[in-house]
Amino acid sequence: MAVANYDFGLVGLGVMGRNFILNVADNGFTAFGNDLDAKKVKALIKEGGNTEKVNASTDAKTFVDSLKLPRKIMLLVPAGKIVDTVIENLLPLLKEGDIIIDGGNSFFTDTDRREAYLKKKGIHFFGAGISGGAKGARLGPSIMPGGSREAYQHVKPIFEAVAAKYKGEPCVAYLGPKSAGNYVKMVHNGIEYGLMQLTLEIYDFLKKAAKLSNAELHQTFKKWNEGRLQSFLVEITSKILAQKDDLTDNHLVDMILDKAKQKGTGKWTSQNAMDLGIPVPTIDIAVSMREISALKAERTKADELYDRPMVKPLDKKDAIEKAEKALYFAFIMAYAQGMHQLADASEEYGYELDLGEIAKIWRAGCIIRAALLADITEAYRSEPRLQNLLLSKSFAEKIRSTVDAARELVSYGATNGIPLPGLSNSLTYFDAYTSERLPLNLIQAQRDYFGSHTYERVDREGIFHTNWHDNV
């Protein structure tokens, strides 16, 4: 019979799971893993150094019996039905008060359903979004837990030990009840979609308009990463652009097919934003562009049918300077949209989110970590009820000094046939959000005309309807 002396358990010993459990062991806690694949179990034990700090088994009972009470079990398995299957397999072996943590990218309503189901059985359940990829899991991810505050207290010391650190502060915090953790991770991924789309557009613009070589692009992104655009995505972009291909004499980036894949979290963010009535056009178009990229065969046929404008070359130095400003502007728009969605979701779903705390735990470890998040943290610390970053006085100056560059790039892209949809949508979002009056009065009139849907007036209170046909 197994001896219950391990602090933490983890089901799912793929790359993420194996790295996370080794991280736990490196930070003073004992950890026990479980996976149906015997090779993965052996790999973990070997990588853990065959010490008492790390162990694993393919047998669920041995796994559960090896954990201290209350058992703290994290699942790092693919989102969907497999999560429910793992839970059902564990349930007969658990005791009241035990804790199950879903560390995957589960849809937030699934987390709410599972929490309610397990609560009736006396088992704590909560979602904890984990960002940082395999390397982050090993060296320190950003962790976004939500759910039972009581249950979180049992794993708090472990999570704070393994999380990434920003100036000594762990990038993890209890975020709120129910599915708050999974929801925040979902929006994190939506913002990630937006930032990635914006980055590739600026790369494409500089390559086509300023004729920058991969070496020059590498140096440009590297320099940007030393300034206000400092971020994980800008950093890895600079490194990607320097990577040579092992199979040819070319740069690897030029040999990679232009079809992007997705796991669905960006789409979920976009869909839920529509449900909430919150505009996130930069994220929306990022999802759509991945879908357009998948139509490779159709795009190839269409390219043969239509002429494209001759690209008017730009001065390299001027193009780089304006591209940096435009990207900084658009990054702010992507974060602003995501944070706005979080604020509204918090009200709608009762999450009680602290947006400053969320920005704070994103400053290191996660994919969207960036120097800009320190400023976002401060903005929400100064104004906890800030409705949108665009309403922050500290961000107004950052935007005013960069928006004209975004306008120039969008105009240039349209004239020269270079698609910049993320940047264009970011600019449109800014222009619409900062317009005191929009032409949507015409939509009210149209809806009342064809469907008697009524309208409101600018000069008096009330709901009105006009018999439009009588005025023809």
Close Cβ partners of 113 (under 8 Å, ≥ 6 residues apart)? none
Q: Maximum Cα–Cα distance for the chain, whole Å?
A: 88
Taken as a whole, the chain contains a residue count of 472
369 labelled binding-site residue: no
447 labelled binding-site residue: yes
Peptide bond into 384 cis (omega under 30): no
193 labelled binding-site residue: yes
105 labelled binding-site residue: yes
Q: Would you state the structure tokens that stand for residue 402, as one six-digit string?
A: 């960069």
Could you confirm whether 185 is annotated as catalytic?
yes
Residue located via tokens 């990679």: 256
What is the layout of strands, in order, in the sheet containing 31-34?
54-57, 31-34, 8-11, 72-75, 99-102, 124-131, 142-145
Cβ contact 205:419 at 8 Å = no
Nearest to 146 by CA among 339, 345, 353, 348: 353
Could you confirm whether 192 is annotated as catalytic?
yes
460 labelled binding-site residue: no
381 labelled binding-site residue: no
- Residue among 40, 72, 185, 267 flagged as catalytic: 185
453 labelled binding-site residue: yes
- Residue among 40, 53, 178, 192 flagged as catalytic: 192
Q: Would you state the structure tokens that stand for residue 201, as one six-digit string?
A: 């557009």
71 labelled binding-site residue: no
Q: Would you state the structure tokens that stand for residue 145, as one six-digit string?
A: 């837990």
263 labelled binding-site residue: yes
Amino acid type, 36: L
Nearest to 288 by CA among 358, 162, 197, 189: 197
Vertex 201 angle, CA 198 and 205, to 5°: 140
Nearest to 190 by CA among 104, 278, 268, 113: 268
Would you please indicate which residues are annotated as catalytic (active-site) residues? 185, 192
Annotated binding site: 105, 131-133, 188-189, 193, 263, 290, 447, 453
Annotated binding site for substrate: 105, 131-133, 188-189, 193, 263, 290, 447, 453
